[in-house]
């Protein structure tokens, strides 16, 4: 005769090295689990110290403080009469492991070290931890004295084992072990394990959640059982956002699923914008009083503006729902202890400043688009003219050299043309920081503003931006998102949030507006400058990173993918142009603003896309190899990749 079992999983907004806050959130989740009758509580990976400690894992302090928190958990009356499954780093035989610690009523039942490490993309676990390679083997772990004093135990089981009770058997997986073709749950299912648990720190990436759900469902489809999934939620002080989405699956069916994006610190198990949550985490952990954004009226800066607006929508909903912590944070940011947000637009006016930085090359179309969007989202909007500053800088140059550079349209050289564009872009960065520091002072309010950037992943990939221009900011929420996805996001905002100003922004061709106008109209477009469309660039970016293609293999794939639209020689020219831009501009990625990681082809130089920043841009070997292929295929217009 079967018996009912109540188990609980959760998502926690843990922060690296925030031991006090992490402990409080763990206890709160256990308390909620017990309130719902649960006898087992599962938490996220490394929840005691936070997953994102990085090289702090090397420090003995991190291990010490983790055990101090574990002692507090063991001693707390909240943890009595429920099996608690928590994550922390542990040193065993002088080797550091990423572990789960299961305990009940002040007794540690077992310590399960991670066996299959996450060591790709954003993950570097083998830098700090070793995998446990002893299958079905358990050793004695000697507990620190501070833990012995509480548990009365000298040693506890450490290794690859499961927990057997009178009623069932519980087996543990940790994050990446689920994604491995030889996942532990396969053998555990054959051995009679009925409840499988997975403690994760899995970050959000566009289109990734569906893969995760399918893996969890498949884990119990064949052999049956219950699968519990817990995940970190929040940014944890880094470029990624852990997107929660805790769930329970039974016999291949998801029966409970928590919110993927939430402002709650504890989510037991349900999207305006993940980037909004990431940005909110960043804001609340800083001492800023809001944001400043140079709003150009284009897709990129409008996307950043809409993310802030979505953040305000989420905040107002949380406050309306009675979330006192969110209300407290909002009051701290606006500097008013009695403030209560009325609606997203009113809140946006308090925390968000936008500015259109016009030059003699700016059109009335982009000015009006920026103004209309600012009016609809409610930001405090300013119009700034940068011509005086640009002419002042050029005046200094002229006074020293006796020369005054000209745009190409006025007979200037390519060097002059590029330099004049860069001066405008860099002046905007300097002015953005000036207004971020002092605009609230000018209004008689305390605090400063975080400067927001708006360079998308495609521009970062090709280097189609000025180094130290407005892409240089405090944070860049869209730096890991393609132009194609940003357009989809704006279309969603236009439909769901009634931001009608976005229609004209989506219809306009992307332009930097750094070269002179022709009859008052824009003469410069991004796609003409790059020599390829954003949709083509999106394909190339995925081939470079996800498919791991160099110039030759990319050419081989694209002559088939694009065969209905482009000739082999046209494909070759586009690949050649891309790799020239990429290799010449890769150095820009070493100084790029921290951005939210959202795309699997992100060129983030910090941790995700580790490549040189200095190249020989001729790519001559690739050129010759592609040329020979062209001859073999008898292409009439065989063109080498690089010349």
Residue 482 and residue 490: Cα distance in Å, rounded? 12
At 360, list the tokens.
């003699």
Determine the 3-state secondary structure of 27 from DSSP.
Answer: helix
Report DSSP letters for 381-446, one per residue: EEEEE-HHHHHHHHHHHHHHHS-----GGGT--HHHHHHHHHHHHHHHHHHHHHHHHHHHHHTT--
Nearest to 540 by CA among 516, 514, 573: 573
CB distance 193 to 225 below 8 Å:
yes
Q: Which one of the listed residues 45, 177, 513, 536 is annotated catalytic?
A: 45
Q: Which one of the listed residues 175, 277, 306, 470 is annotated catalytic?
A: 175
Nearest to 25 by CA among 39, 46, 11, 7: 11
Report DSSP letters for 244-284, one per residue: ---EEEETTEEEEE--SS-S-SEE------HHHHHHHHHHH
Catalytic residue list contains 114: yes
Q: Which one of the listed residues 34, 114, 545, 574 is annotated catalytic?
A: 114
b/e code 510-542 from CB counts within 10 Å (16+ = b) = bbbbbbbbeeeebebebbebbbbebebbbbbbe
Q: Which one of the listed residues 296, 359, 363, 602 is annotated catalytic?
A: 296
Q: What is the CA radius of gyration of the chain?
A: 28
Report DSSP letters for 185-247, one per residue: HHHHHHTT--EEEEEE--B--TT-HHHHHHHHHHHTTTT--EEEEEEEEE-TTSS--EE---E
At 132, list the tokens.
């446990």
b/e code 41-53 from CB counts within 10 Å (16+ = b) = bbbbbbbbbbbbb
Determine the 3-state secondary structure of 74 from DSSP.
Answer: helix
Catalytic residue list contains 360: no
Catalytic residue list contains 175: yes
- Contact residues for 122 (Cβ-Cβ < 8 A; gap 6+): 203, 239, 240, 597, 607, 608
CB distance 429 to 472 below 8 Å:
yes
Catalytic residue ranges: 45, 114, 175, 296
């Amino acid at each position: 005769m079967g018996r009912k079992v109540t188990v609980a999983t959760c998502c926690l907004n843990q922060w690296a090295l925030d031991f006090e806050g992490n402990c409080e959130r763990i206890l709160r989740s256990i308390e909620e689990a017990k309130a719902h009758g649960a006898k087992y509580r599962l938490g996220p990976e490394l929840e005691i110290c936070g997953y994102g400690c990085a090289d702090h894992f090397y420090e003995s302090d991190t291990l010490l403080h983790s055990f101090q928190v574990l002692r507090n958990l063991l001693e707390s009356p909240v943890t009595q009469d429920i099996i608690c499954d928590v994550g922390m780093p542990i040193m065993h035989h002088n080797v550091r492991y990423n572990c789960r610690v299961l305990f009940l009523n002040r007794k540690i039942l077992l310590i399960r070290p991670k066996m299959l490490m996450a060591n790709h993309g954003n993950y570097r676990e083998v830098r700090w931890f070793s995998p446990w390679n002893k299958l079905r083997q358990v050793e004695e772990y000697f507990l620190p004295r501070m833990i012995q004093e509480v548990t009365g135990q000298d040693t506890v089981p450490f290794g690859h084992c499961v927990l057997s009770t009178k009623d069932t058997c519980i087996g543990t997986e940790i994050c990446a072990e689920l994604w491995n073709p030889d996942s532990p749950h396969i053998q555990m299912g054959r051995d009679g394990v009925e409840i499988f648990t997975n403690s994760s720190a899995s970050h959000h990436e566009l289109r990734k959640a569906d893969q995760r759900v399918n893996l969890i469902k498949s884990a119990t489809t064949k052999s049956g059982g219950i699968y519990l999934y817990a995940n970190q939620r929040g940014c944890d002080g880094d470029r990624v956002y852990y997107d929660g989405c805790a769930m329970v699956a039974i016999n291949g069916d998801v029966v409970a699923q928590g919110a993927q994006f939430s402002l709650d610190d504890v989510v037991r198990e349900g999207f305006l914008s993940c980037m909004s949550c990431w940005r909110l985490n960043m804001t609340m952990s800083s001492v800023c009083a809001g944001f400043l954004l140079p709003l150009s009226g284009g897709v990129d800066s409008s996307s950043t503006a809409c993310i802030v607006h979505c953040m305000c929508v989420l905040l107002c909903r949380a406050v309306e729902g009675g979330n006192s912590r969110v209300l407290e944070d909002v009051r701290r940011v606006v500097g008013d202890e009695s403030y209560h947000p009325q609606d997203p637009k009113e809140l946006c006016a308090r925390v968000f400043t936008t500015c259109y930085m016009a030059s003699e090359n700016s059109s009335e179309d982009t000015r009006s688009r920026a103004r209309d969007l600012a009016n609809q989202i409610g930001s405090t909007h300013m119009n700034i003219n940068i011509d005086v500053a640009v002419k002042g800088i050029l005046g200094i140059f002229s006074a020293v050299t006796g020369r005054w550079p000209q745009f190409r349209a006025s007979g200037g050289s390519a060097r002059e043309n590029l330099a004049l564009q860069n001066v405008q872009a860099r002046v905007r960065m300097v002015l953005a920081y000036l207004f971020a520091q002092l605009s609230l002072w000018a209004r008689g309010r305390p605090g400063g503003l975080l400067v927001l950037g708006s360079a998308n992943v495609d521009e970062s990939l090709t280097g189609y931006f000025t180094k130290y221009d407005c892409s240089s900011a405090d944070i860049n929420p869209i730096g890991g998102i393609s132009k194609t996805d940003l357009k989809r996001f704006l279309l969603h905002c236009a439909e769901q949030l009634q931001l009608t100003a976005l229609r004209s922004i989506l219809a306009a061709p992307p332009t930097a507006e750094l070269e002179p106008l022709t009859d008052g109209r824009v003469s410069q477009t991004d796609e003409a400058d790059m020599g390829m469309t954003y949709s083509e660039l999106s394909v190339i970016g995925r081939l470079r990173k996800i498919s791991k293609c160099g110039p030759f293999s990319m050419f081989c794939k694209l002559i088939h993918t694009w065969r209905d639209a482009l000739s082999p020689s046209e494909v070759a020219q586009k690949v050649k142009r891309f790799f020239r831009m990429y290799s010449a501009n890769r150095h820009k990625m070493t100084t790029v603003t921290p951005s939210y990681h959202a795309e699997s082809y992100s060129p983030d130089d910090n941790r995700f896309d580790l490549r040189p920043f200095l190249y020989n841009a001729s790519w001559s070997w690739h050129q010759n190899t592609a040329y020979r292929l062209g001859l073999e295929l008898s292409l009439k217009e065989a063109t080498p990749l690089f010349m």
